[in-house]
Structure 1
Amino acid sequence: MDIVVLTTITACLFVVIAAAEPLAARLRLPYAVILAVLGMMIGAGAIFFLRTDLTDALNPVAEAILNLPIRSNVFLYVFLPMLLFQVTLGMNLRRMLDDWVPILMLAVVAVVVATLSVGYALAWASPWPITVCLLIGAIVSTTDPSAVVGIFRSISAPRRLARIIEGESLLNDAAAIALFGLFMSFVMDNVPDPAFSSALGRFPMLIAGGAVTGWICARVAIWTMTLFQRFELAQISLSVALPYLAYILAERSVGASGVIAVVAAGLTLNLMGPGRLAPSAMTNLREVWDLLAHWAGALIFVLAALLIPRLMEEVRLDDLGLVAAVALAAIAARVVILFGLLPLLTLLRLSPMVERPYRVAILWGGLRGAVTLALALAVTESVHVPVEVKRVVGILATGFTLFTLLVQGTTLRPVIRLLGLDRLSPIDRALSNQVVAVALQTVREDVARTTETYDLSHDIVRSEAKRFGERLDEAVKTADADAEILDRDRVTLGLVALAGAERDAILNRIRDRTIPLGLAERMLSNADRLIEGARTGGRSGYRTASKASTGYSRAFRLAVVLNNRLRIAGPLARLTADRFEDLLIQRLVLHDLGGFIEARIRRIHGRRVADLLQELLERRDEALETALDGLRLQFPGYAEELERRFIRRTALRLEEREYRSLREDGLIGAELFAVLMQEIDRRRAAAEERPRLDIAVRKADLVRRFPLFAGLDEAALRRLARALVTRHADPGEVIFRKEMPARSVFFIASGAVEMEMAGQVARLGRGEMFGQMAILTRRPRRAEVRAIAPSTLLVLDEARFRRLLSSSPAMREAVLESAARRGMSPEKILPAEAPAA
């Protein structure tokens, strides 16, 4: 085809795409349905003008439209990776993991059940071989992401419902395309009785191989992007290459699912990108992908719809009955999964409950589109498939796609409305009314200040103020009518807002580059956990999530084991430094939230809720201080190094802001600005380097460094090192309790402990001793000691401790000081064989 003609047609298609969006809004129909209808009209019009005798003037245009190079590979290799990748970039994976069981059931099990249901229904209703029927079942079993995602985002469906539908449409393509390839090979080879068991055994390899390929490709791409931190266009270009390379490598080299590879690559970039790339780069990258996917989704629908009149040309009356059989079998398969399997899994506590209205909406929202048409087109293009099989596959796949788009797609919005899924809950509605009342009050105050500033006409101001006051009074009355909201619900809503404000504060600090990019992912994950905990569990859920944010992860505990047992210190040093920095920045963020509670929460939810949230915030701050104290005791001086680093990063941000302001005001030129920014980048790269944390614990060296063991000769130090026993304590572990018999003394090699005695709490850190007083007074323990950080303790038995006490003046002095702090006389604690010197 001539390049000028192809360019002209492409430009005209973009005009159609531009006109479809306002048309869909005016007709209140899904955008994808409007695109499909316009595409079918264009295709049918081209066929009509090419075959009519009315005029020949439009024949060149009609021939050009019908001869567009639309092949199945164009859909599968050009458009599909782009659509899948963009959807994964915009997903909240952490929220989607809450519903991973129903998503997996719909994406894999439902595809297999639909394939078998449609296949055997057609085998019963038609003379076609079972392989052909199952091939059709595989083609029509996949929901289309561009159709489903676009429609559910346009009708304001509940977020959880949209997430389930989006997750299904993303992942079920892999299962459907795998089944399609299996049955297509059977049809082309004319296998009458295929062995399905061995072929289905390839599923794990298809999925696992695709996931690993996508993850590796994304990790390599992210690593490369970090080398181009100053070149955002280069980073965006790499992101465009990523889904295509992952798709092709998985399909052609690994023999796995290209769809799963693209999804895995997109999810990896979604999760790791904010922690590795600059915030502006990630924002611009997502904006570019939103635009690319908008064009790709629109083009794939228009081009696929152009094929529909051609594929339906040879339709017969009995074919319509088969289309109805396909539709009934496909819907029945989804009914079995949604109303049979999912409730059973919920009953067995293997899956979260999916409410009945959600299941009805998911049933009716299983739309087919370009992917189904692309697979059908691949069959019609094959020279190894009989002509009659091509015809029936094209007609049934196209007919069922039309049914889902024109029947289900156009009625999905009324179904959502009928199910009540488009309405706010009573709590959200009451909150909305209160927010409107508070916002209008703030606007009225700002308008009053504006009129005074600009000295506007008093008559105009008075008339507008009256109208605005009437609206405000109405909003206040509505809010007062909702005053019966339970305090518990108000607290929940306030906590969700507070957690959201914390996430925004973290994002602002990431944009300002005062939070290291490597730490951003963990902090955002903690903030998401707080939001979800508050939303699902209220106050208790928020507390649990806040404890997790200061707690120790499984990776940290594993690193402790590697360090203590195998002397592999690298992972623990890195995770400990991360924890140090995380806690410091959490403390700074929490200090910013107090103002949010006073300025926002108090005005919307009242004083009582605000005071309660302040109390929760203070408890979080106390927990943070406890965790930080444990680290400070364990590694004295390291917190100060991190605080200096934070100040340097803040100073660089302020310096950069000042240079930009001077540049915008025209006080410095572009050349000088470029030089100054290069210097800022150089110093920022230096500030990114975190000070090294030394956590190595070598017993012999540690004994020599202990001030308590000063004065011992080398032979005594060696004997002491052999006598000391190493004990490792996890955070929260009780080392000994009150009234326990005293048989050992403990020296803190690393970590920190908290001692509680007589209602008072003391914290001890690296290099200090505890447990000696009970031994010296020959009484049971009077204190309870627990670790507040991963700690390594050196334990010395009673007999050796007494001998050490008699030979170490420094130890004797430490014991005397400890006794004096507790008001005890030396005579009561020093053994007779070791009189005070």
Structure 2
Amino acid sequence: AGDHPSRAAPPLLYATVQRTSWRQFAANKRPIFLLAVALVFVTTAAVAAVANSIVPGLPIAAAVALGALVAPPDPVAATAVAGSVGLPRRLVSILEGEGLFNDVTAIVLYHVAIAAAVSGTFSLPEAFGLLVLSAVVAVAVGLAIGWLTIKLMNLLGDATLQVGLTLLVPFVAYVLAEELEGSGVLAVLTVALFLAEHTADADDVLGRLTGRTFWDIVDTLVTGVAFGLIGLELHSVFGTADGHALEMVGWGLAIVAVVVGVRLLWLLPATWLAKRLHTRRDVSEEIPTSWRETVVMWWAGMRGVASVALALAIPLETDDGQPFPGREEIIFIAFAVIMATLVFQGLTLPWLVRKLKVRADTAAEGALERDLAIRAAKAAKYRLKEIQEVEEFPEEVLERLQRAAYDIGARISPEMVDEERREAYAQRAKRFKEINRIQREMMSAARHEVLSARSEPGSDPEVVDRVLRYLDFRSLR
């Protein structure tokens, strides 16, 4: 596992897992297994068979490596497009789960194939043993790093230091697992899920806001850099095609057809099987509910960062010093698949979603939001009642606090307010917005005045920044 692919993989995987939970993975184990594990094996086998037959001199091990690196769809690309077109949440969840687990499966297959191509030998029992060992080591490393991270976070206390630590965590888990012959991707996934389940402090408002903003920025930057590498590599890729470019384009188009076709041919029976296995007890399992959603899932199978990283990680030479067989052809075909799926499918997916009229279930989301609003308001009222038993308040203060408890829910979901009180609440909300607007103007004037003091002679910048930071926090309230 020495020269592993992607320096961009750890933070991207970690950021993606932030949007999900272990419960979601457990609930969707069947669709994720059918898509992430089974489909990757089927795609790898199909691509390997076709590539081995059409590319002259390409050994089966190198063909399997090509199949493994183009097999996993990119969850970052798919969910980015899905978010912009308003796909149902269940489809987004399946795409995210598929993207995370198919990376794990594909990378292990890739390593087995590369090892066989480099050494010239292959053993099925040894490959299966490597797969099991890789998974066990990765989970153990992920859990150990997760436990250690929680201990360190408790020691650090400061939100800035804690968020900084979370940037190191995915890299440490990834590299350590790889050094111990485990799956770095699975280790990052394990540690991210572990931390998501065990570091959820409801009162850590600053840490949560800081962490979410930080990881949104990291996600955007790393994704941009990773996809930027595609453009930078195109020059060298086209350079390798000198003399037989048209023939290589033909190979690339053939593999694109295999990758896209196999996904559709697999998804149709897999979705049917998932529906047949689905029972009333599986209330949290998220599966496509119509042929339209299945078609959208098929077209959302764009290749991206993982495929780029794996293609660029192919070694230059085998153990006996010979050039890696078919390396230039593999890289060219891989980039053809990435560009065809990412550009063509990525640009046409919003049109397909609109044409098929696949939309998010806003009624279900609204109902859940309403339910959470009612629960939040009840929890606030119950806590107020507990405080009342040990403390006394003037009548006007108590009335104001009771109204504030009710407003917590009403602000989350105005729909929870009954018809009679809705108009009164709307008036109160209007007054509140007006007061907020004036307060924002006042705080803005205060910030401008304090900031201007920074350039005045004799002014201590540290004191000015401390006062400005206080005003900033007040402005966020």
Query: Could you say which residue in structure 1 is the equivalent of 2:12?
Result: 83
| 1:293 matches 2:219 | yes
The 1:219–1:319 alpha-carbon spacing in structure 2 relative to 1, beyond 3 Å, is same
Other structure's SS at 1:202 match: helix
2:170 is matched with which residue: 213, 220, 243? 243
Conservation of the 8 A alpha-carbon contact between 2:373 and 2:408: no
Query: Could you say which residue in structure 2 is the equivalent of 1:835?
Result: none
CA distance in 2, matches of 1:139, 1:494: 40
| 1:498 matches 2:370 | yes
The 1:225–1:337 alpha-carbon spacing in structure 2 relative to 1, beyond 3 Å, is same
Conservation of the 8 A alpha-carbon contact between 1:222 and 1:276: no
Other structure's SS at 1:256 match: coil
Conservation of the 8 A alpha-carbon contact between 2:69 and 2:106: yes
CA distance in 2, matches of 1:303, 1:342: 35
The 1:170–1:493 alpha-carbon spacing in structure 2 relative to 1, beyond 3 Å, is closer
Conservation of the 8 A alpha-carbon contact between 1:140 and 1:400: yes
Q: When you count helix as a share of all residues, which structure comes out higher?
A: 2
Query: Could you say which residue in structure 2 is the equivalent of 1:208?
Result: 136
Conservation of the 8 A alpha-carbon contact between 2:370 and 2:416: no
Matches for 1:163-202 after TM superposition, within 5 Å: 163-191=93-121, 194-202=122-130
Conservation of the 8 A alpha-carbon contact between 1:115 and 1:137: yes
Residues 46-72 of structure 1 show CA distances to partners (whole Å, capped at 9, x for unaligned) of xxxxxxxxxxxxxxxxxxxxxxxxxx9
The Cα of 1:387 is off from its aligned counterpart by 5.5
Conservation of the 8 A alpha-carbon contact between 2:94 and 2:286: no
Please, what TM-score do these two structures have when normalized by structure 1?
0.43
Query: Could you say which residue in structure 2 is the equivalent of 1:140?
Result: 70
Other structure's SS at 1:161 match: helix
Q: Which amino acid aligns with 1:319?
A: M
Conservation of the 8 A alpha-carbon contact between 1:117 and 1:137: yes
Query: Could you say which residue in structure 1 is the equivalent of 2:303?
Result: 368
| 1:262 matches 2:188 | yes
Conservation of the 8 A alpha-carbon contact between 2:374 and 2:409: no
Query: Could you say which residue in structure 2 is the equivalent of 1:233?
Result: 160
CA distance in 1, matches of 2:170, 2:375: 29
Conservation of the 8 A alpha-carbon contact between 2:78 and 2:95: yes
Residues 706-728 of structure 1 show CA distances to partners (whole Å, capped at 9, x for unaligned) of xxxxxxxxxxxxxxxxxxxxxxx
The 1:495–1:294 alpha-carbon spacing in structure 2 relative to 1, beyond 3 Å, is closer
Q: Which amino acid aligns with 2:269?
A: G
Query: Could you say which residue in structure 2 is the equivalent of 1:283?
Result: 209
Conservation of the 8 A alpha-carbon contact between 1:149 and 1:165: yes
The Cα of 1:173 is off from its aligned counterpart by 1.1
The 1:493–1:140 alpha-carbon spacing in structure 2 relative to 1, beyond 3 Å, is closer
CA distance in 1, matches of 2:18, 2:182: 22
The Cα of 1:75 is off from its aligned counterpart by 5.7
Matches for 1:328-407 after TM superposition, within 5 Å: 328-349=257-278, 353-355=287-289, 356-379=291-314, 381-382=316-317, 386=323, 389-407=326-344
CA distance in 1, matches of 2:142, 2:202: 18
The 1:202–1:506 alpha-carbon spacing in structure 2 relative to 1, beyond 3 Å, is farther
Q: Which amino acid aligns with 2:334?
A: A
Q: Which amino acid aligns with 1:87?
A: T
Query: Could you say which residue in structure 2 is the equivalent of 1:106?
Result: 35
The Cα of 1:344 is off from its aligned counterpart by 1.7
Show structure 2 runs of 5+ residues with no match: 280-284, 388-400, 421-446, 451-461, 467-477
Which moved further from structure 2: 492-501 or 141-150?
Answer: 492-501
Query: Could you say which residue in structure 2 is the equivalent of 1:409?
Result: 346
Residues 293-351 of structure 1 show CA distances to partners (whole Å, capped at 9, x for unaligned) of 21111111112321022112233222222212212222233224311123123213377
The 1:267–1:385 alpha-carbon spacing in structure 2 relative to 1, beyond 3 Å, is farther
Q: Which amino acid aligns with 2:228?
A: V
Q: Give the number of aligned pairs.
A: 398
CA distance in 2, matches of 1:314, 1:372: 18
The Cα of 1:252 is off from its aligned counterpart by 0.5
Conservation of the 8 A alpha-carbon contact between 1:82 and 1:243: yes
The Cα of 1:411 is off from its aligned counterpart by 0.8
CA distance in 2, matches of 1:100, 1:297: 27
Other structure's SS at 1:82 match: helix
The Cα of 1:242 is off from its aligned counterpart by 0.8
The Cα of 1:205 is off from its aligned counterpart by 2.9
CA distance in 2, matches of 1:385, 1:342: 45
CA distance in 2, matches of 1:387, 1:203: 23
The Cα of 1:494 is off from its aligned counterpart by 7.5
Residues 390-425 of structure 1 show CA distances to partners (whole Å, capped at 9, x for unaligned) of 111111111111111121111111111112124x66
CA distance in 1, matches of 2:113, 2:325: 17
Query: Could you say which residue in structure 1 is the equivalent of 2:428?
Result: none
Q: Which amino acid aligns with 1:379?
A: I
The Cα of 1:84 is off from its aligned counterpart by 0.7
CA distance in 1, matches of 2:367, 2:71: 42
CA distance in 1, matches of 2:379, 2:170: 27
CA distance in 2, matches of 1:157, 1:494: 15
Query: Could you say which residue in structure 1 is the equivalent of 2:86?
Result: 156
Conservation of the 8 A alpha-carbon contact between 2:374 and 2:416: no
Root-mean-square deviation (Å): 3.7
Q: Which amino acid aligns with 1:256?
A: G
The Cα of 1:104 is off from its aligned counterpart by 2.5
CA distance in 1, matches of 2:254, 2:365: 48
The 1:180–1:277 alpha-carbon spacing in structure 2 relative to 1, beyond 3 Å, is farther
Conservation of the 8 A alpha-carbon contact between 1:215 and 1:265: yes
Please, what TM-score do these two structures have when normalized by structure 2?
0.74
CA distance in 2, matches of 1:245, 1:508: 40
Query: Could you say which residue in structure 2 is the equivalent of 1:580?
Result: none
1:130 is matched with which residue: 51, 60, 71? 60
Q: When you count strand as a share of all residues, which structure comes out higher?
A: 1
Residues 688-712 of structure 1 show CA distances to partners (whole Å, capped at 9, x for unaligned) of xxxxxxxxxxxxxxxxxxxxxxxxx
Matches for 1:744-823 after TM superposition, within 5 Å: none
Residues 256-298 of structure 1 show CA distances to partners (whole Å, capped at 9, x for unaligned) of 1110111111112222222387231122122112112211111
Matches for 1:529-548 after TM superposition, within 5 Å: none
| Higher RCO (C-alpha 8 Å, min separation 6) | 2
Which moved further from structure 2: 178-187 or 373-382?
Answer: 373-382
The 1:121–1:505 alpha-carbon spacing in structure 2 relative to 1, beyond 3 Å, is farther
CA distance in 2, matches of 1:505, 1:207: 44
Q: Which has the larger radius of gyration?
A: 1
Residues 118-174 of structure 1 show CA distances to partners (whole Å, capped at 9, x for unaligned) of 111222333322222111101111122332332322332222211111111122111
Other structure's SS at 2:170 match: helix
CA distance in 2, matches of 1:178, 1:385: 24
Conservation of the 8 A alpha-carbon contact between 1:85 and 1:263: yes
Other structure's SS at 2:182 match: coil
